[in-house]
């Protein structure tokens, strides 16, 4: 993994903490949450305040997320909102933390000027022991305060002030007045500068989790489903689809209008995308067979394709046929959902589920290493550890030179622009059109609906330096 770290492809864009004042605040919060402290004089943190160096020091990479649910966090500055989330167990965690920080940025800026803010992303489940408990994960509440309890004490002071103003005997209550003065010394003037968070509740009905071998829970589409990539899940009120049942997954995505063929997507250079996917497949095949890839450019990879000959991967041959259709008017290829290339030919439609669907497609087409890295980093890092060395080197070099230099542009070219929420909602609810497959002969009518049930810039590879405020 050192190669990825050196190139900024792992632990990238983290916030560096090196100020003694900030380290002292971090330790106060860490002590309160875990009972432990760090002796490091510099480290890096993600959006939640998790530090890989501190995790290594403590021998526990989950010191802020011990059960994989109810993630705890430490905020030293609102600047953390731009950092990634490491050791993610739910796809919604970073979005919730970022939205919380952005919605309460002014309050957090004021609070973190003198103390660390710590808290927890709470839900009704405290440990996941059975798959059925996943259904209880939908609404999340962010509970946060400083290590000195400024928010709680400010709320208490606000209540005392209300009592003082409304109780006729308040002017004569020396104990009440004394308590107000004591609290005001800690919180400041809460009447002019309220210390209270605004938005703290978040709805996350659709998500991926790493629990139970990897699960995708879709509750907002018309036809709900749970897709289990590992073990077979029991006790769920929605349709259970195994990650190995490609036909069922394809039908679920199709009837809900969640995907579109890359070659038919608006504003997409389908030929360039297909060629790049073919390169990824060739590199993987050559690495597995121990074949040299030379310089690793497209000319060298064409030579690899010639060496492979009759053992070219089926995915490569299918995408090559599709490329001929796109660029040379070749025959329309028959690529059904049983074909290993099927999910390589799709991308998510614009809408609120776009990122979750692209994560699922990345897991179903793991040879597309660029999409895997962008959409499902947890799986990318796990698979990377087992790749042949030649593939590791080629992929790291490609991502550094072809993706890192223009991340936003690459995402737009691959997945399209981010739609507005109103447009996204309409897209998600739009009726499913009669279409061709998306591959093969046109259908006369949409497939039969799935059964629907109710409730079912950078410092090294790390990032910007976070400087202390006194």
Residue 442 placed within a domain: no
Asked if residues 219 and 204 have their Cβ atoms less than 8 Å apart, the reply is: no
Secondary structure in 3-state letters for 165-213: HHCCCHHHCHHHHHHHHHHHHHHCCCCCCCCCCCCCEEECCCEEECHHH
Q: Do 414 and 321 share a domain, yes or no?
A: yes
Helix/strand/coil for 459: strand
What is the predicted pLDDT for the residue at 126?
A: 77
Beta-carbon neighbour count of residue 124 at 10 Å? 13
Q: Give dist(CA 316, CA 277) in Å, integer.
A: 8
What is the predicted pLDDT for the residue at 302?
A: 87
Q: Do 272 and 418 share a domain, yes or no?
A: yes
Q: Do 277 and 183 share a domain, yes or no?
A: no
Q: Give dist(CA 398, CA 404) in Å, integer.
A: 9
H or E element in which residue 207 lies: strand 207-209
Q: Which of 118, 30, 122 is nearest to 70 (CA)?
A: 122
Q: Which residues, other chains included, contact 365 with Cβ-Cβ below 8 Å and sequence gap of 6+?
A: 343, 344, 371, 372
Residue 16 has φ and ψ, to the nearest 5°, of -85, 130
What is the predicted pLDDT for the residue at 390?
A: 94
Residue 161 placed within a domain: yes
Q: Which residues, other chains included, contact 64 with Cβ-Cβ below 8 Å and sequence gap of 6+?
A: 33, 34, 48, 49, 50, 71, 72, 73, 74
Q: Do 270 and 151 share a domain, yes or no?
A: no
Q: Give dist(CA 346, CA 344) in Å, integer.
A: 6
Length of the chain, please? Answer: 470
Output helix, strand, coil percentages for the chain, rounded to the nearest 5: 45, 10, 40
The number of CA neighbours under 13 Å toward the Cβ of 453 is 9
462 burial type by CB count under 10 A (0-12 exposed, 13-18 middle, 19+ buried): buried
Q: Give dist(CA 335, CA 102) in Å, integer.
A: 44
Residue 248 placed within a domain: no
- Along the 470 residues of the chain, how does pLDDT read in single tens digits? 889 999 999 998 999 999 999 999 999 999 999 999 999 999 999 999 999 999 999 999 999 999 898 999 999 999 999 999 999 999 999 999 999 999 999 888 878 888 899 999 988 777 788 888 888 888 899 998 888 766 656 555 556 656 656 777 766 666 766 665 676 666 554 444 456 788 889 999 999 999 999 999 999 999 999 999 986 677 776 678 999 999 999 999 999 999 999 998 888 899 999 999 999 999 999 999 999 888 888 888 888 888 888 889 999 999 999 999 998 888 889 899 999 999 999 999 999 999 999 999 999 999 999 999 999 999 999 999 999 999 999 999 999 999 988 999 999 999 987 654 334 333 333 333 334 444 444 333 444 444 433 332 333 334 444 544 44
Asked if residues 83 and 46 have their Cβ atoms less than 8 Å apart, the reply is: yes
From 203, 223, 253, give the residue that closes a domain: 203
Q: Do 15 and 112 share a domain, yes or no?
A: yes
Q: Do 98 and 27 share a domain, yes or no?
A: yes
Q: Cα-atom radius of gyration of the chain, to the nearest Å?
A: 26
Q: Do 95 and 27 share a domain, yes or no?
A: yes
Instruction: Please give the DSSP secondary-structure letter assigned to residue 461.
Output: T
Distances (CA, A) of 459 to 9, 69, 223: 13, 31, 46
Helix/strand/coil for 256: coil
- The token pair that represents 465 in the structure block: 């330096």
What is the predicted pLDDT for the residue at 168?
A: 74
Q: Which residues, other chains included, contact 145 with Cβ-Cβ below 8 Å and sequence gap of 6+?
A: 117, 118, 119, 151, 152
Residue 217 placed within a domain: no
Asked if residues 434 and 444 have their Cβ atoms less than 8 Å apart, the reply is: yes
Q: Do 164 and 265 share a domain, yes or no?
A: no
**H helices present in 269-313, as ranges:** 270-289, 298-308
The pLDDT tens digits for 109-150 are: 878 888 899 999 988 777 788 888 888 888 899 998 888 766
Sheet containing 72-75, strands listed edge to edge, beginning at the edge strand earlier in sequence: 72-75, 117-122, 139-146, 201-203
Cis omega (within 30 of 0) for bond into 438: yes
What region, left, alpha or beta, does residue 463 occupy, with left being phi > 0 and alpha being psi -120 to 50 degrees? Answer: left
- The token pair that represents 79 in the structure block: 């600047």
What is the predicted pLDDT for the residue at 178?
A: 66
C-alpha of 413 from chain center: 19
Q: Give dist(CA 245, CA 207) in Å, integer.
A: 20
Angle CA(181)–CA(187)–CA(192) in degrees, nearest 5?
A: 90
Q: Do 267 and 387 share a domain, yes or no?
A: yes
Asked if residues 217 and 153 have their Cβ atoms less than 8 Å apart, the reply is: no
The pLDDT tens digits for 344-364 are: 999 999 999 999 999 999 999
Q: Do 282 and 190 share a domain, yes or no?
A: no
What is the predicted pLDDT for the residue at 398?
A: 95
From 203, 229, 251, give the residue that closes a domain: 203
Residue 118 has φ and ψ, to the nearest 5°, of -130, 160
- The count of structural domains within the chain is 2
Residue 192 placed within a domain: yes
What is the predicted pLDDT for the residue at 163?
A: 67
Residue 313 placed within a domain: yes
Q: Give dist(CA 335, CA 261) in Å, integer.
A: 11
Residue 230 placed within a domain: no
Q: Do 160 and 49 share a domain, yes or no?
A: yes
What is the predicted pLDDT for the residue at 160?
A: 60
Asked if residues 438 and 261 have their Cβ atoms less than 8 Å apart, the reply is: yes
Find the domain containing 327 and state its range.
Answer: 261-429
Q: Do 78 and 164 share a domain, yes or no?
A: yes
Residue 470 placed within a domain: no
Distances (CA, A) of 425 to 240, 350, 354, 419, 444: 25, 9, 11, 9, 27
What is the predicted pLDDT for the residue at 188?
A: 57
pTM of the model: 0.81
């Amino acid at each position: 993994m050192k190669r990825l770290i050196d190139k900024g492809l792992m632990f990238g864009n983290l916030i560096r903490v090196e100020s003694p004042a900030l380290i002292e605040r971090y330790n106060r919060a860490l002590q309160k949450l875990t009972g432990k402290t760090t002796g490091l004089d510099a480290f890096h943190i993600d959006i939640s305040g998790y530090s890989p160096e501190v995790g290594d020091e403590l021998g526990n990479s989950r010191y802020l997320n011990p059960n994989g649910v109810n993630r705890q966090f430490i905020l030293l500055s609102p600047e953390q909102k731009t950092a990634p989330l490491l050791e993610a167990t739910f796809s919604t965690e970073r979005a919730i933390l970022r939205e919380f920080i952005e919605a309460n940025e002014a309050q957090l800026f004021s609070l973190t000027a003198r103390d660390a803010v710590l808290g927890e992303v709470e839900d009704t489940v405290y440990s996941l022991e059975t798959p059925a408990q996943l259904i209880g994960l939908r609404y999340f509440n962010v509970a946060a305060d400083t290590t000195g309890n400024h928010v709680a004490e400010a709320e208490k002071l606000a209540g005392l002030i209300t009592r003082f103003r409304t109780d006729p005997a308040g002017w004569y209550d020396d104990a009440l007045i004394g308590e107000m003065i004591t609290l005001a010394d800690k919180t400041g003037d809460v009447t002019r500068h309220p210390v209270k968070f605004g938005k703290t509740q978040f709805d996350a009905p659709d998500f991926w989790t790493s629990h139970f071998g990897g699960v995708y829970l879709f509750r907002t589409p018309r036809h709900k489903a749970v897709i289990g990539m590992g073990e077979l899940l029991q006790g769920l009120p929605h349709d259970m689809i195994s990650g190995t049942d490609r036909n069922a997954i394809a039908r679920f995505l199709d009837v809900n209008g969640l995907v579109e063929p890359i070659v038919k997507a608006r504003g997409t250079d389908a030929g360039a995308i297909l060629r790049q996917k073919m390169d990824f497949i060739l590199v993987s095949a050559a690495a597995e067979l121990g074949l040299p890839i030379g310089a690793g450019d497209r000319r060298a990879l064409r030579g690899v394709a010639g060496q492979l000959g009759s053992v070219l991967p089926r995915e490569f041959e299918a995408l090559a046929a599709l490329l001929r259709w796109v660029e040379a008017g070749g025959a329309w290829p028959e690529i059904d959902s049983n074909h290993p290339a099927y999910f390589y030919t799709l991308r998510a439609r614009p809408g609120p589920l776009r990122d979750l669907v692209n994560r699922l497609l990345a897991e179903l087409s793991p040879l597309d290493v660029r999409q895997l890295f962008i959409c499902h980093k947890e799986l990318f890092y796990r698979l990377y550890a087992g790749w042949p060395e030649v593939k590791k080197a080629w992929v790291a070099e490609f991502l550094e030179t072809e993706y890192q230099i223009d991340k936003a542009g690459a995402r737009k070219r691959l997945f399209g622009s981010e739609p507005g929420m109103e447009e996204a909602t309409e897209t998600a609810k739009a009726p499913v059109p009669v279409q061709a497959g998306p591959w093969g002969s046109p259908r006369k009518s949409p497939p039969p609906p799935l059964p629907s049930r109710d409730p079912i810039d950078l410092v090294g590879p790390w990032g910007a330096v976070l400087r202390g405020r006194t």
